[in-house]
Chain A
Amino acid sequence: MKELIRKFTQTAGPSGYESAVRNVIREELKSYASNIQVDTLGNLIVRVGEKNRNGLSILVAAHMDEIGVIVSHVEKNGLVRFSNIGTVFPRFLPGSRVVFLNGTRGVVNNEKPEDITKIPKFEKFFIDVGAASDKDCPVKIGDLAVFEGEFADYGLNIVSKALDNRAACALLIETIKQIKTTPHELIFVFSTQEEVGSRGALTAAFGIEADLGFALDVTPASHILGTKMQCDLGKGPAIKVRDVNFISDPGVVNWMIDGAKKIRVPYQLEILDVGSTDARSIQMTRSGIASGALSIPCRYVHSPSEMINMNDYQNMIALMVRLLTNPVSLG
């Protein structure tokens, strides 16, 4: 189980360039090959089950992209200037390492700051790939890289880069494999370009026209950092109530709460005033779709060392299987 997460997190897939991740996911889903399709924006779509009389068509989206950087200029001295792909926090940059899709590795640092107590602005940072000049630099404008962040097993908790959102991708794979029968038509979308604005899920949901949809993602477990949002590791999957620009369908929230209560797994209610998920794209599709989101609590989101709790992970699989194999009432 941890091995799958390790493999997924250590595969590079910045937004818009998810093909390597798509391939490892497809490999895991070999036995479903005839039900797999890849759409225009690169979303991997897997269909399981058929809708029976009590069933719905349910869309579940887990994004497979991660944040990264893109080269904007190589200076004459060989230093590489870059722009962000997705939300990259400058505070995590100094000293972090990146690996380009062409294999080149580099370290990130910044120009001498005027004020050492302040985090430098984004444009002050550069990547040093060890090139002496622009002529011998192995990367060029437009090349993409992801952050390095090794997988580490702390026992109950695990640490890696890109647990956002490969942990949810792995979780979804394990869920799919555990589903033997279902009254529903289940459409699993491993979506692209979530980190730049939930773009893949938007076009995928348009093509799918589900009765109900939800996103699988991670959510900041920032309680420990002193924020006034209540979410922490080990207290169960987070059921989203609201975030920026998204309000969960109350029926979907209650369906998830009931499911958790039925199988006696702990859950947390999530309300966020930062960030967003694919749920917002799913909801606004066509005439609107009843939507929500389930999240794995995750510390230090968008850093090279994100952390999740394996009990939360296991409980969320159990909850997913429960939700997707039983009739749905949105009351």
Chain B
Amino acid sequence: MTSEKILTSRLKINKAKLALLEKLSNAVGVSGCEDEVREIVIEEIKPYVDEYNVDAMGNVLAVKHASIKNALRVMFAAHMDEVGFMLVGEDDKGIFAFEPVGGIDERQLVAKPVVAGKDHIAGVIGAKPIHLASAEEKCHPVPMDSLRIDVSPANSGRLKIGDFATFATRFQLSGDSLFGKALDDRLGVASLIELTKKKADHLEILFAFTVQEEIGLRGARVAAYNFNPDLAFVVDSTPAFDFPAYEPGVENSRYNCRLGFGPAIYIADAGTLSDPRLIRFLTKIAEENHIPFQFRQPGGGGTDAGAIHLTRTGVPAVSISVPGRYAHSSILHAKVKDWENTLALLEAILNNVDRSILAEER
């Protein structure tokens, strides 16, 4: 299907793409309540996909059909959910106890603005004034169970137990840097949306916008069972710890990935050993198309691939991440160029993927 290669005009990051990312980043979609993100996704992909539906868990499953029979079934997945909070009790008028949803470092919470509930009620996570904190208290992080979300007495009646909350951060573009909350994984969601606009009708293309990744890869698992794909690519955002080491003169050998070095291809994480055939394929097409890329350092962590590759009789899978600093905090930092190169790599997949990749044994 080399005739399709005419479509290799690179997906440049333009105003429209940035506007889409902004909308996605500002939307609230804590794991288990992804409604706002789902609505945006459906609205955006509707004109470009042949069919879509929302499954029992809330995943958006969309298909672009092949024009040929027995076409290769290629799945792309990105998770819609973000880490956040759930209100679990009201102590006083407008003062809510909350629990984290997904992995959040308690030191990232104090003195942050939040939005809570479907109506985005404004609130703050307050802290005891430094004057009142004892010397002993200052030796420890402010403990999670002492923190409260305060929406002021005026708003106490507008929220209830079980409502979700997240950081109130608004998206911002500054030079070639993207700042915003939930860029993990709205960068992936935005990438998949852009991919739906591409034509590759020699493939059966299966898009899964998944739920509940941050609390156990739950959505991806049922999405993959439903799609039963021949192979899968997961698009996520992985932390960049590309800072100087704490001790002067020591080399930082644990950066995970670095901003500005292009999409990070996964070899091994806690949940997945990427299919080596797909790693070779990605490396090859990236080199052929002059797309910069990096390997994410093998180690812990995980993506939806952890669930997808173990579905049914197994699915060859690999993850590709847009590097982002400060994951799971109030503001993430990613680079326009890394996103652009990630889009280029995804497009190259559409143009080059075929059954021969899987012809040899793993």
B-binding residues in A (CB < 8 A): 15-17, 19, 22, 38-42, 70-73, 75-77, 81, 83, 85, 123, 141-142, 193, 196, 199-200, 202-204, 206-207
Contacts and interface: CB of A to CB of B under 8 A. Distances in A.
A17 B275 CA distance: 9
Contacts of A77: 251
Interface in B265-312: 267-268, 273, 276, 279, 295, 297-299, 309-312
A190 to B, nearest CB: 13
A20 B267 CA distance: 19
B131 to A, nearest CB: 37
Interface string B312-340: 11111000000000000000000000000
Contacts of A19: 361-362
B268 A16 contact: yes
A16 B298 contact: no
A142 B253 contact: no
B323 to A, nearest CB: 15
Contacts of B93: none
A224 to B, nearest CB: 32
Contacts of A200: 314
Given A73-B254, A196-B273, A200-B314, 17 more contacts: A17-B276, A39-B313, A39-B314, A40-B314, A42-B362, A72-B298, A75-B253, A76-B251, A81-B253, A81-B254, A141-B267, A199-B310, A202-B310, A203-B311, A204-B314, A206-B313, A206-B314
Contacts of A42: 361-362
B314 A16 contact: no
11 contacts: A19-B362, A38-B362, A72-B299, A81-B253, A81-B254, A85-B273, A123-B254, A141-B267, A141-B295, A203-B310, A206-B312
Given A83-B298, A141-B295, A15 B313 contact: no
Nearest to A81: B253
Nearest to A16: B273
A41 B314 CA distance: 6
A69 to B, nearest CB: 9
Contact of B253 (A38, A72, A206, A207): A72
B307 to A, nearest CB: 11
Interface in B245-259: 251, 253-255
Contacts of A199: 273, 309-310
A93 B203 CA distance: 47
A39 B362 CA distance: 9
A251 to B, nearest CB: 27
Contacts of A71: 298
A288 B251 CA distance: 50
B257 to A, nearest CB: 11
Contacts of A141: 267, 295, 297-298
Interface of B: 251, 253-255, 267-268, 273, 276, 279, 295, 297-299, 309-316, 361-362
Contacts of B255: 73
B253 A73 contact: yes
A72 B297 contact: yes
Given A41-B314, A73-B254, A22 B361 contact: yes
Contacts of B276: 16-17
* Interface class of chain B by DSSP: loop
Given A72-B297, A73-B297, A142-B298, A38 B361 contact: yes
A259 to B, nearest CB: 31
Contact of A75 (B251, B297, B361): B251
Contacts of B311: 203
A306 B16 CA distance: 60
Given A17-B276, A41-B362, A81-B253, A203 B297 contact: no
Q: Sorted from nearest, which 8 A-B pairs have the closest CB atoms?
A: A16-B273, A203-B314, A40-B314, A207-B313, A42-B362, A142-B267, A41-B314, A72-B297
Nearest to B271: A197
Contacts of B268: 16, 70, 83, 85, 142
A203 B361 contact: no
A20 to B, nearest CB: 12
B315 A40 contact: yes
Nearest to A14: B273
Contacts of A142: 267-268, 279, 295, 298
Given A22-B361, A81-B253, A70 B310 contact: no
A76 B252 CA distance: 11
Most buried by B among A70, A77, A142, A196: A142
A85 B267 CA distance: 11
A100 to B, nearest CB: 14
A204 B312 CA distance: 9
Nearest to A75: B251
A20 B197 CA distance: 42
Contacts of A75: 251, 253
A4 B153 CA distance: 76
A17 B274 CA distance: 10
Contact of B299 (A41, A83, A203): A83
Contacts of B273: 15-17, 85, 193, 196, 199
A83 B253 contact: no
Contacts of A73: 253-255, 297
A201 to B, nearest CB: 10
A40 B276 CA distance: 12
A125 to B, nearest CB: 11
A308 to B, nearest CB: 27
B314 A70 contact: no
B152 to A, nearest CB: 45
B8 to A, nearest CB: 27
Contacts of B309: 41, 199
A204 B310 CA distance: 10
A203 B253 contact: no
Contacts of A38: 361-362
Nearest to A200: B314
B298 A70 contact: yes
B310 A83 contact: no
Contacts of B279: 142
A126 to B, nearest CB: 9
Nearest to A23: B361
